[in-house]
Amino acid sequence: MKQRIITGVVAAALFIPFVIYGGAPFALVVCALAIIGFYEILKMKDISIVSIPGILGVFALLLLVVPEAWSAEGVLFLGYASKLMVVYGIVALLLIYIVVVKNKMTFDEIGFILLGIFYVGLGFHYFIETRIIGLEFVVYALLVVWTTDSGAYFVGRKLGKNKLWPEISPKKTVEGFVGGIVIAVLFAIAMQMIYPFAASYLQLIFVTIIASIVGQMGDLVESAIKRHYGVKDSGTILPGHGGILDRFDSLLFVVPLLHFLHFFA
């Protein structure tokens, strides 16, 4: 626990200034986090990120992660090609690579790389887009994720009796799942009282409940992936916490959801 607290404080001290400042520095930091997360995914299946498929994957990943404004302003130097066209070209190259290496890399492995690109890339992309819309919405998203996680942990330890999904995550309980939602709603209401940012309390409560549920599902998704590939943590970059995906698994699901629900409209 002591190691977790120290790592959390140090990581927050390094990351929060970029969140507050926003702009290109924040986008570049998020791109770096996405690359690390992609590396962690590939490592689970023993695929090297410095291989040809890995490098092509990183390029496609970054195209997905970077802000839409960078494409419109010509920052990416794509010319007349859209990001989607370039990503499709990379998909084609990856499939051709199977033929070139005579099935030493399989279709399943290429599919794994592509799913990893979209899983990591789109989540971090919407993290950047959320910051562009407003700092308050990033704070809200982080608040929902962190309070849900903490609420589920402490309520689960105190009141938890019924296992939520023992095949995936043996320690999670139904009581913790519900407790995380309740705690997230209470903190979201407190934030709205201090700094009104949502259209109404009814909208805020509805979105927070959905976001808390989806965030916990994001956590379970990563747990399922790790259990399937026989790893305890996605990485070791954050002592006491694991890897980047261990810390951002819920957020990768929550921020796209907020855009889907038009919470910022």
pLDDT at 75: 54
CA angle (57 as vertex; 54, 59 as ends), nearest 5: 115
pLDDT at 265: 61
Q: What is the largest CA-CA distance in the chain?
A: 62
pLDDT at 76: 57
pLDDT at 114: 95
> Which residue(s) pair with 166 in the sheet?
none
pLDDT tens digit at each of 265 positions of the chain: 667 777 778 888 899 999 999 999 999 999 999 999 999 999 999 999 999 999 999 999 999 999 887 765 555 555 455 777 888 899 999 999 999 999 899 999 999 999 999 999 999 999 999 999 999 999 999 999 999 999 999 999 999 899 998 888 888 999 999 999 999 999 999 999 999 999 999 999 999 999 999 999 999 999 999 999 999 899 888 887 889 999 999 999 999 999 999 887 6
pLDDT at 170: 85
pTM, rounded to two decimals: 0.92
Query: For the chain, where are the alpha helices, taking DSSP H only?
Result: 2-21, 23-44, 52-65, 68-72, 83-100, 107-133, 135-159, 174-194, 201-229, 244-248, 251-260
Distance (Å, whole) CA 27 – CA 129:
9
